[in-house]
Structure 1
Amino acid sequence: MRVLFLACLSPKTGNCTTAERIRNHIVAAGHTCVLYDTREFNSASDVSSLMTQEPRFEAALAIHLFKGGRLLLDLGVPFGVVFGGTDVNEDVKDEHKRAVMEEVLRKARFAVAFTDALKEQAEALLVCESKIYVQPQGIETKVALNFSWSDFLHCTGVHTKHVENLHVFLLVCGLRRVKDPLYLLEAFEEWHSQNPLVVLIIIGPVIDPVFTAEVEESVKRSVGVFLAADLSQEELHAAMQKSFALVNSSLSEGMSAAILEEFVSMSRKLLDDRELQERLVRNGKNYITTCHNSMKERITYQKLVETLH
């Protein structure tokens, strides 16, 4: 079967990584899966023109119900969709987009949500039949063996003779306003002034150039907060392993002031409690193995794609 796959393919983003991984699952089942960036198409008619070319596509798949799914509505081939966080956190607030997403759900053979919470949220906000499957994302870690932690810190602007004692909190995100990368800036400035060995490094690709300039200016004026150039996936995974902890922020996911107030106190506790550190690492590894198994993900998508015949 020849499958058309639409997704937002901004380099070095979660969407791009997820799309490539799912495509590999489909190809491993013996199908042909051609990946296109949704930004290449201005309308559904552009996709329809693509569908008339030989060899013809027999089925389709899209990540994001609105960004990708809307382009599949009138193709005349069976299709499936994968929810993105933007669907239920942002696009559902727009009446027109919500109506389009409900039509996509009505016509799709299946829909995939990455978590039970996302499925529940979608079912609460959208009129849809019970065709949403939950499949957490599979995680495959590839680490660059020649990655130099000290060189990375130096290039980032972190200069210290005590690299082994440094506590680096890493915030990984595409630089755009919705990810709110400056959420922890003031808290880290204050903490760094009390403990110079505690720093925050923000790292990720430029998504919004105007907002990125704002982030760069804010970081330049700060102390203890640094901005790193984006890395390859293997280098990024190595940096994650070397860092003390990963942090996350997002406007669309509702990071409240209460979380900010608790963050530093909980992080201080983590610094001082070796047993807690080991327990979190152990539980994290068990959770990834249990809930984010790449082989389980492969089996799920291969079974779902079979329903598009």
Structure 2
Amino acid sequence: MKLLLLACLSPKTGNNTTAERIRSHIESAGHTCELRDAAAFQSSAEVADLISRHPPFEGALAIHLFRAGSLLLDIQVPFGVIFGGTDINEDVKVEQKRVVMERVLLKARFAVAFTDKLKEEAKLFLLSQSCKIYVQPQGIQTEVSEKFCWTEFLRSSGLSVELTHELRVFLLVCGLRRVKDPLYLVDVFSEWHRENPLNVLVVIGPRYLFSNSGVRQKIDPVFSVEVEAVVKKTAGVFLAGARSQRELHAAMKRCFTVVNSSVSEGMSAAILEEFLHQSQRLLSDRELRERLVRNGKVYVEEHHGLGQERETYQRLVDTLLSA
């Protein structure tokens, strides 16, 4: 079976990694899966034209109902869709986008949500199509660069490396987008850094998108300037550009802890205060750190295995064949 997989494919992003992994699952079952960037198409008519070219595609998949799924509305072959967090956390709040997403979900043969919560919210905000929605957590495959060096990494981020072996690096992985709110922890972390200079926050992630012609542009030019200006004058907080997956995984493995922030997930002031409290606990309680790492590994093995993810996508693709 020849399949088209549409997704937002900006380099070194979660979308890109997820799309490549799903393509691998599909092709391991003997299908042909052609991955295309949704940003390369201006309309669903263009995708319909691509689908019909010889040899024609026999089915399609899209990651994100609005961004990519909307481009499948005019195709004449069966397709499935995969919810992205932006679909439910952001796009569904815009009436015009919500209507399009409902049309996509109505026409799709199946939909995949990464969590039970995402499925429940989809049922709440979109026309009821819950029988089509399957829950499959993302598979996690860690590839760590053995050549990773904290000294070089931190120096490239503008951080003095005199005490790198003693630093406790808190790593925030995100692109410079407002929805990820990389400035959420800046003030409180800077104050904490002044009390203890060994505690530093490094924000790592893509700042740029690349067009089909290779032209580089900032993801959010206005917000990027704002973030860069704030970080430049804030003690203990540093920006690092996008890295390869292997380098990023190495940084996540060797930092003190990975943190997260998101406007769409409701990060309140209470959570901010709790962050400091829990971080201080982690610093002082070695047993707690070891238990969290141990339990985290068990959870990933039980819920984010590649084998289960591969089986799910291969089974769902088979439903496209039985049209």
Gaps of 5+ in 1: none
SS at match of 1:65: coil
Match of 2:138 in 1: 137
**Identity percentage over the alignment?**
64
- Residue number in structure 2 paired with 1:75: 75
1:230 equivalenced with 2:242 (yes/no): yes
Higher mean C-alpha displacement, 188-197 vs 248-257: 248-257
- Residues 168-190 of structure 1 deviation map (CA, whole Å, 9 limit, x = unaligned): 00001111111100100001110
SS state of the match for residue 307, structure 1? helix
Are 1:308 and 2:309 an aligned pair? no
Q: CA deviation at 1:128?
A: 2.5
Give 3-state SS (helix, strand or coil) of 1:308's partner.
Answer: helix
Aligned equivalent of 1:120: 120
Q: Which string of whole-angstrom CA distances, capped at 9 and with x for unpartnered residues, describes residues 192-222 of structure 1?
A: 0100000000011112233222211111100
Matched pairs, number: 309
Deviation at 1:163, TM superposition (A): 2.1
- Write the letter of the residue equivalent to 1:204: G
Q: Report the alpha carbon displacement of residue 256 of structure 1 after superposing the two structures with TM.
A: 1.1
Q: 2:300 aligns with which of 258, 280, 288?
A: 288
1:161 shift after superposition: 3.1
- Is residue 5–residue 61 contact of structure 1 (8 Å, CA) maintained in 2? yes
1:254-273 to structure 2, matched below 5 A, reads: 254-273=266-285
Q: CA deviation at 1:160?
A: 4.3
Q: Which residue type is aligned with residue 148 of structure 1?
A: C
1:164 Cα deviation (Å)?
2.3
Residue 15 of structure 1: aligned partner: 15
1:252 to 264, 268, 272: 264
Q: Is the 8 A contact 1:12 1:233 kept in 2?
A: yes
CA RMSD of aligned residues (A): 1.0
Q: Please, what TM-score do these two structures have when normalized by structure 1?
A: 0.98
Q: Deviations over 1:84-127 (max 9, x none)?
A: 01111111111121111111111111100000110111111111
State whether residues 106 and 128 of structure 1, in contact with CA within 8 Å, keep that contact through their aligned partners in structure 2. no
2:5–2:61 Cα contact (<8 Å) kept: yes
Q: For residues 217 and 283 of structure 1, what CA distance do their matches in structure 2 show?
A: 38
Q: Distance in 2 between matches of 1:218 and 1:272?
A: 30
Q: Which runs of 4+ in 1 moved over 4 A?
A: none
Confirm whether residue 189 of structure 1 aligns to residue 201 of structure 2. Answer: no
- Pairs within 5 Å for 1:86-125: 86-125=86-125
Amino acid of the structure 2 residue aligned with 1:273: D
Query: Which AA in structure 2 matches 1:49?
Result: D
Cα pair 2:63 2:82 within 8 Å, conserved: yes
Task: Indicate conservation of the 8 Å contact 1:111/1:132, yes or no.
Answer: yes
Amino acid at match of 2:226: E
Q: Give the match's secondary structure for 2:77.
A: coil
Partner of residue 169, structure 1: 170
Q: Give the match's secondary structure for 2:311.
A: helix
Q: For residues 74 and 225 of structure 1, what CA distance do their matches in structure 2 show?
A: 47
Relative to the length of structure 2, the TM-score reads 0.94
Give the conservation status (yes or no) of the 8 Å contact 2:48–2:76. Answer: no
SS of 1:287's equivalent in the other structure is helix
